[in-house]
Structures are given as C-alpha cells and as structure tokens.
Amino acid sequence: MCLYPRIIRNRKYTINDKNGGNVPECKDKRTLYVPIGCGNCMECRRQKAGAWKVRMMEDIRVNKNAMFITFTFSEHELQKIDKEIRKLKGYDRDNEITRIAVRRFTERWRKKYGRTIRHWLVTELGHKGTERIHLHGIVWTDEDIKEVRRVWKYGKVVKGDGKGKHYVNEESIGYIVKYISKVDKMHENYKSKIYASKGLGSEYLKRNNAKLNEYKEDGTDETYRTRRGWKLGLPIYYRNKLYSEEEREKLWIEKLDKQVRYVDGVEIDISKNEDEYWKKLDEVRKKNKRLGYEVDESWEKKKYENQRRNLKRWERIQKLYGKESGQIGRK
C-alpha cells in the first residue's frame, strides 16, 4: 500500500454530475471515505508498473502483431516542436513535446490507415550527451518498421531496445514498465509520461480466468495469475470492470473488517494495536527516501490518524446497530 496514504470523501456521497444532485443513502458510514495513494512513492509506482505489465501481457495473448520499439527525436525536430510551447519549463516542457509528437503521429496513422495505431509508450530522458527525451514501448501493427519510421518522422525508430532485444514477451514488457517504477538517479525529479490506447488488455475480461475474480462475499479473489503461476494484484482497470460500485464498496468494508495492513509486501495485523504498522511504515519510508523515490513532505500523520479514528468509530456503530436496525446511515 501507499507509504503516504490519504483518506478522502467518497464522491458517490457528494453532489456531482453523475448523481444529478440526488446523493444516495449511505448504509455504512465507513464508505463515506475512501483511501487514495500519493502515486509517487515506491509502493505506488510499483503497483502502477505491475498493473500495466498485467494488461500488456494479456493483450499480447490475443494480439500477436505487437512490436517492441523505441522512438527518438532529432535535435532539429525537437526544436521545431519546442518553439510551439509556451510557459512550460524543465521536465514539463520535455513531456509536452512527447505529448504533441505522439498525438500527431497517431493522427497521421489514422489519416493514412483509417484507424489509429494501438500503442503503449513511456518516456525516458537520455543519460549521455544531449540527454534528449525519447520513448520506449509497444505498437501493434502489421506494417513493417520502415513504415512506422515514415509516419513517425521525428527521428530514428529502433526496433526493440537498441541492444538486440526486440521480441514482445513477458521479459520485454517488464523492461519497458520499469521506467514507471525505477528512479532516474540523473533526473531524480523527472516523472515519466505514459501514452496508451484505450482498452489494452480488455480481452482478459472474456477469459475463464476472470471468472475466478467474480465477487464472493468474504471470499473474493482479487489476484491475477501469470502463466508461470505467480500471483499479482488485480489492476484497478479490471476491478472497475469486474465489480459493480456496490461490490467495490463491500470489498472495501471487508478489508476494514480484516484489520490488516500491507507495507512493502508484508502483512501486518492491527487488530490489537498499530505500533508494528507505524514502525514498519517508518522503516520503509526511510528506504523509499534512500532509494531516491519522492517523499510527501505535506503528509500529516495527525490528520490521517483522525480520519482513521472516524472510520473506527463508525465501525463500532456498525457492529452495534447496522446489521440489526439499518440505522448506520443516520448515526
């Protein structure tokens, strides 16, 4: 779980465009708030990389025309796009260049072939000489590499990583998603951007394996099994497709009832007290900082503890009244 977790108000129980101002009744006040991650610590980045790895491994099971690729920029083309950008500076400017280039590349492909090119691309900064930005990733196409180069036009297009690896398999997917989770020691504050087609990996939802993930009260399997039998966390993309809003809410309540926390892959029982949890969290945060991952200096333990105390209070009320009288929504 995130090393700097926050608990925010559940949008389901606020006035918003989706409910048109008709806020539904809350049957368990613990669901008024939901946890979110910081997105930048080692745990969040590891989870994000793992989710994309799962989705792409699923996609290549069905779509066999995947090509492992690296897109680069010539200095001339880089400067042409750079001149169009206003206000943005530093790393944000680098990423804006890639956003413009990828959008125009996919538009040119759509204009020529009547459909966009399926893709998953992640940015990286160079570590020698000019340190120019480039992209690693996968494109799905039956056209050859020469055609991809012609449509890209911003610089060289290399099949694979430029060092001989070019087949798309679990290993090469692991190679490209590492740019999400790894720390760039030379550019510690740089955050890679991901550009991806919609629906990558969606075929998993049609497979029999997905049925193993169906909601079962107090027994839902929220893991994904690789071909080698390893268990990984089920990506949020699949969770949102497999489970209804009500089922996701129930899963959250079940997690609260279990009284466990996970830090750096270690399960910690907090049913008696949370001393071990806070000790482990502090230890892993130091590791997070030592490895160069982002530290959320604005995170406030006092505020987080107060939010969790509210959850505990509502948990006690639920046990006292909820199941018998249904009064939890009005307490």
**Both tokens of residue 311?**
């959850």
Place of tokens 């071990």: 276
Domain hosting 134: range is 49-196
User: pLDDT tens digits for 46-86?
Assistant: 999 999 999 999 999 999 999 999 999 999 999 999 999 99
* Average confidence (pLDDT) over 176-190: 90
* Average confidence (pLDDT) over 121-150: 93
68: helix, coil or strand? strand
How many domains does the chain contain in total? 1
User: pLDDT tens digits for 197-212?
Assistant: 999 999 999 999 999 9
Q: Cα(88)–Cα(234) distance, rounded to whole angstroms?
A: 36
Residue 268 has pLDDT above 50, yes or no: yes
Query: Under a CB-based contact definition with an 8 Å cutoff, are residues 134 and 123 in contact?
Result: yes
The answer to whether residue 213 sits within a structural domain is no
The answer to whether residue 30 sits within a structural domain is no
The answer to whether residue 150 sits within a structural domain is yes
Catalogue the long-range contacts made by 99-103 (C-beta closer than 8 Å, 24 or more residues apart): 99/193, 99/195, 101/71, 101/73, 101/154, 102/135, 102/195
Query: Under a CB-based contact definition with an 8 Å cutoff, are residues 227 and 6 in contact?
Result: no
What is the reported pLDDT for 26? 84
The answer to whether residue 258 sits within a structural domain is no
Q: Cα(244)–Cα(219) distance, rounded to whole angstroms?
A: 16
The answer to whether residue 321 sits within a structural domain is no
The answer to whether residue 233 sits within a structural domain is no
Residue 228 gets which letter from DSSP? Answer: T
What is the reported pLDDT for 98? 97
Q: Cα(91)–Cα(75) distance, rounded to whole angstroms?
A: 17
Place of tokens 């066999």: 64
The answer to whether residue 76 sits within a structural domain is yes
The answer to whether residue 243 sits within a structural domain is no
pLDDT grade, residue 318 (50/70/90)?
A: low
Element (H, E) at 247: helix 245-258
Query: Under a CB-based contact definition with an 8 Å cutoff, are residues 260 and 267 in contact?
Result: yes
